[in-house]
Structure 1
Amino acid sequence: MTDASRPRPVLDPALPDRDRALLTAAPERLAPASRPAPPPPRPGIGTIAARLVWIPLFALFYGVLPGGWFHLFFLASLDEDDLVGGVLRWGRLPLTAMMLTPAVQVVLLMLGQGEAAAALAAVSFTGWAAGALQHVREPAAARAARELHGRYLLPADFDRPAARLLARAQRAVDAVLGSEAHRAGLLDDVGNNVELPRQEWAIARALAEHTRLRREYRAQEPQRLSPAVRALLEPQRSALELSVRSVTERVEALEDYARRVKEAGDAYHEWQVLQRLPEQNARYRDLLAETVRDDLAREQIERLTADARHAESALRDSIATALRAGREVSGG
C-alpha cells in the first residue's frame, strides 16, 4: 500500500484531550480494533521484588530514618548539571521533602516530641512508598491504549479498498482545515473544527466494518459453497455494496466541499490583491497624468475599481457556495 493510500490513525473525537494526547504520544502501544485489546501487564519477578523489598526499604531510609541526612552529602557532591537533572527527574517538592524531613525529625526528638516525630515518620513513609509505586505501575499510555481499545482505528483495521477511501476523506479534511478560507474564518458557521473530525470518525468506523465483513466473507470461501448457499449469502453481499456506495458518496461530498473551499480561498486571495489596488491607484494616476491625457487615466482607474468590485462579488458567491457544500456534508 502506497503512502498516498495509507490512512493515518483515527481517534474518536469524543475522547477527552488528555486521552487523545496519551494515545498519540505512544502509537507503538496501540492495537488495531480488529484484534484483541492489549492485555494488562503481569508483574514480573523484578516488579514483585520491588514492591515487597525495595519500596519499603526505600521509604524507610528516606521517609523515616534520620539516616536520610546521608543523602544531603550525596546531593552536595553532585555537580550543577547532575543536580539540575535530578531536580527535573524527581521534582523540587520531593527533593525538598527528602532534605527537610530528617531535619524536622531530629529537631522534634531533641525537643522531646517523640510522638510527633513518629507521626511525621509514618506520613513520610506512606508518601515515599506511594511515590515509589509510581515507577512500577502500568504506564499511563499503555493503560489508555488498553482501556480505550476500539475508540481508535489504525491502518491495520482497513483493507485496501477501505484504506483508499479513508485516505481520500482525510486528504479532503486536511485540505479544508489547511485552506486559506478556513484560516481567514470565512467558513466559521460550518463548524469545520468540530464537524470534520466527526465525519472522519464516522467514515472510518463504517470502513472498518466493511473490512471486517469482507474478511469474514472471504474466510467462508464462497467458491467452495453450493449455489444454493451462495444465494443465501447474496443479500449480505448486496447490503455491503450498498453501504460502500453510501460511504463513497459521503467521501465524494467531502472532496467536493474541499474543492469549493479551495475556490473560495482563491477568490479571497484575489480579492485581497485587488483591495490593495486603491492605494496603488494614486501612483498609477500620477504616472498616467504625466504621460497621457487625463481621460485615459480616469478610464484606467475606473477599470481597476470595477475589477475590485467584481472580485468582491465573486468572493461572496464562492463563499456562499462553499458554505452550502459544508452544510450538505454536515447534514450527511
Structure 2
Amino acid sequence: MTDDSRPRPVFDPALPAADRALLAAAPERLVAATLPPPPAARPGAATIAVRAIWIPLFAFFYGVLPGGWIRVFFLASLDEDDMLDSVFRWGRGAVVAMMATPFLQIALILLGQGEAAVLLAAASFTGWVAGALRHVREPAAARAAREHHGRYLLPADLDRPAAGLLRRAQRAVDAVLASESHAAGLLDEVGNAVALPEQEWAIAVALAEHTRLRRERAAQRPERLSERVRAMLEPQERALDLSVRSVTERVEALEAYARHARETDDAYHEWQVVRRIPEQNARYRDLLAATVRDDLARAEIDRLAGDARRARAALGRPPEE
C-alpha cells in the first residue's frame, strides 16, 4: 500500500484528550493490538551509571553542605516559569528543605547538637536522592502507549481489505471536517466533532475483528478440511460476510455524508457569489463610467494634438511624423 492508501492510527475517543495527543505525537511508541503490550521503558546501563554519580553529588551539594547563600542566589536567579518547573519536578518540600537545612544545621551546631545536625544532613541527602529518583520516570508517551494498549489501532492490525475500508472512512471524515460548510456552522459542528470520531473508532474495531477472523480462517487451511467440517464452518463465514457488508454500508453512509458536505460547500459558494453580485455590479458600472471618460479624454487629447500640429504649421515647421 502507498502512504496515501494506508490508514492512520485510530484512537478510542473515550481516552482522555491529553493521552490521545501524547499517542498521536509519538506514533513510534505505539504497538499493534495484535501484539503484546509494550513493557515499561527502563533506562539503559549508561544512563543508570551517570545518574548514580550525579544524583548523590547533587543531593550532597544541595542537601548537606551549609551553603545557604548559594541556594538563595540560585533561587533568586530563576524566573517564574523556571521556579514553577522546579517545584513541579522536585516538590515544594524539597525546595523548602533546600533553603532551611543549612540554617538549621548551623543552629544545631551552635547549640552543641552536632549529632542532630548530622542526622538532619543525612535526612536531607536522602530526600534529595528520593526526589531525583522520582523525577527519573517513564516518558509520558511510553506510559500512555503501554497503559492504553488495545485502545488504539494501527495499520498492522488490519489486512488489506480492512485497511482499504478504514481509509475510505477516514477520507470521508476528513472531507466533512475540512469542508467550508462545517467551518461556517452550516452542518452539525458539535455532532461532527463527537460522532465522527466515534464512527471511525467503531468501524476500526469491527475491521480489526474481521481481520483477526480472516487470519484465523486462513490458519485453518480450509483446503485441507473435509466437506463435513467445511459445512460446519459455513455459518461462521456467512456471519463474517454479513458483518463486512454492514460495515461497508456504514462506510458508504459516511461517504454519502461527505458528498452532501461537498454539495453544501458548492451551494454555500454559490450563495456567496450571488450575495456579492450587487456590490460587483456597482463596481462594473464605475468601470463603464471610467471607460466613457477615457473616450472623452482621448477625444480631448486628439483635439489638443491637432492644435499643436496647426501651431507648428503656422510657424513654418513641418509636422512631426
Normalised to the residue count of structure 2, the TM-score between the two structures is: 0.73
Residue ranges of structure 2 left out of the alignment (5+ in a row): 293-321
Residue 234 to residue 289, structure 1, CA distance change in 2 (3 Å): same
Quote the offset at 1:110 in angstroms: 6.6
Question: Secondary structure of 1:237's partner?
Answer: helix
What amino acid maps onto 2:227 in structure 1? P
Question: Secondary structure of 1:3's partner?
Answer: coil
Q: Which residue of 1 aligns with 2:56?
A: 57
2:140 and 2:291 map into 1 onto residues whose CA distance is 75
Quote the offset at 1:3 in angstroms: 2.0
Q: Which residue of 1 aligns with 2:23?
A: 23
Question: Secondary structure of 1:39's partner?
Answer: coil
Tell me, yes or no, if the aligned pair for 1:11 and 1:201 is still in contact at 8 Å: yes
Q: Which residue of 2 aligns with 1:218?
A: 218
Tell me, yes or no, if the aligned pair for 1:172 and 1:255 is still in contact at 8 Å: yes
Tell me, yes or no, if the aligned pair for 2:6 and 2:155 is still in contact at 8 Å: yes
1:279 and 1:229 map into 2 onto residues whose CA distance is 76
Quote the offset at 1:124 in angstroms: 4.1
Quote the offset at 1:271 in angstroms: 0.9
1:165 and 1:146 map into 2 onto residues whose CA distance is 27
What amino acid maps onto 2:63 in structure 1? V
- Quick one: percent identity of the two aligned structures? 65
2:164 and 2:279 map into 1 onto residues whose CA distance is 49
Residue 56 to residue 282, structure 1, CA distance change in 2 (3 Å): closer
2:123 and 2:259 map into 1 onto residues whose CA distance is 64
Q: Which residue of 1 aligns with 2:144?
A: 144
Q: Which residue of 2 aligns with 1:66?
A: 65
Aligned residues: 282
Q: Which residue of 1 aligns with 2:239?
A: 239
Query: Cα deviations across residues 85-131 of structure 1 (Å, max 9, x unaligned)?
Result: xx979945569779745654455447649699678757744542233
Residue 186 to residue 104, structure 1, CA distance change in 2 (3 Å): farther
Question: Secondary structure of 2:4's partner?
Answer: helix
Shifted more, 14-23 versus 188-197: the winner is 188-197
State yes or no: 1:269 paired with 2:238: no
Q: Which residue of 1 aligns with 2:317?
A: none
Query: Cα deviations across residues 153-210 of structure 1 (Å, max 9, x unaligned)?
Result: 0010000000000000000000000010001111136610110000000000000000
What amino acid maps onto 1:222 in structure 2? P
1:227 and 1:281 map into 2 onto residues whose CA distance is 78
1:16 and 1:188 map into 2 onto residues whose CA distance is 23
Residue 114 to residue 55, structure 1, CA distance change in 2 (3 Å): farther
1:288 and 1:136 map into 2 onto residues whose CA distance is 75
Tell me, yes or no, if the aligned pair for 1:62 and 1:98 is still in contact at 8 Å: no
Shifted more, 10-19 versus 57-66: the winner is 57-66
1:270 and 1:112 map into 2 onto residues whose CA distance is 89
Question: Secondary structure of 1:5's partner?
Answer: coil
Matches within 5 A, 1:1-332: 1-41=1-41, 54=53, 57-58=56-57, 60-66=59-65, 91-93=85-87, 100=99, 103-105=102-104, 108-109=107-108, 112=111, 121=121, 124-125=124-125, 127-188=127-188, 191-284=191-284
1:47 and 1:89 map into 2 onto residues whose CA distance is 26
Quote the offset at 1:4 in angstroms: 2.7
Tell me, yes or no, if the aligned pair for 2:222 and 2:230 is still in contact at 8 Å: yes
Quote the offset at 1:136 in angstroms: 3.7
Residue 90 to residue 185, structure 1, CA distance change in 2 (3 Å): closer
Query: Cα deviations across residues 47-104 of structure 1 (Å, max 9, x unaligned)?
Result: 77789x65873464034311667987xx8xxxxxxx99xx979945569779745654
Question: Secondary structure of 1:4's partner?
Answer: coil
Normalised to the residue count of structure 1, the TM-score between the two structures is: 0.71
Quote the offset at 1:46 in angstroms: 6.4
Tell me, yes or no, if the aligned pair for 1:6 and 1:163 is still in contact at 8 Å: yes
Aligned-CA RMSD value? 4.0
What amino acid maps onto 2:185 in structure 1? G
2:139 and 2:129 map into 1 onto residues whose CA distance is 17
2:149 and 2:249 map into 1 onto residues whose CA distance is 29
2:43 and 2:281 map into 1 onto residues whose CA distance is 77
Residue 157 to residue 68, structure 1, CA distance change in 2 (3 Å): farther
Tell me, yes or no, if the aligned pair for 2:158 and 2:208 is still in contact at 8 Å: yes
Query: Cα deviations across residues 231-254 of structure 1 (Å, max 9, x unaligned)?
Result: 111110110000000000000000
Query: Cα deviations across residues 195-228 of structure 1 (Å, max 9, x unaligned)?
Result: 0000000000000000000000000000000111
Residue ranges of structure 1 left out of the alignment (5+ in a row): 76-82, 293-332
Tell me, yes or no, if the aligned pair for 1:59 and 1:125 is still in contact at 8 Å: no
Shifted more, 227-236 versus 272-281: the winner is 272-281
1:203 and 1:113 map into 2 onto residues whose CA distance is 75
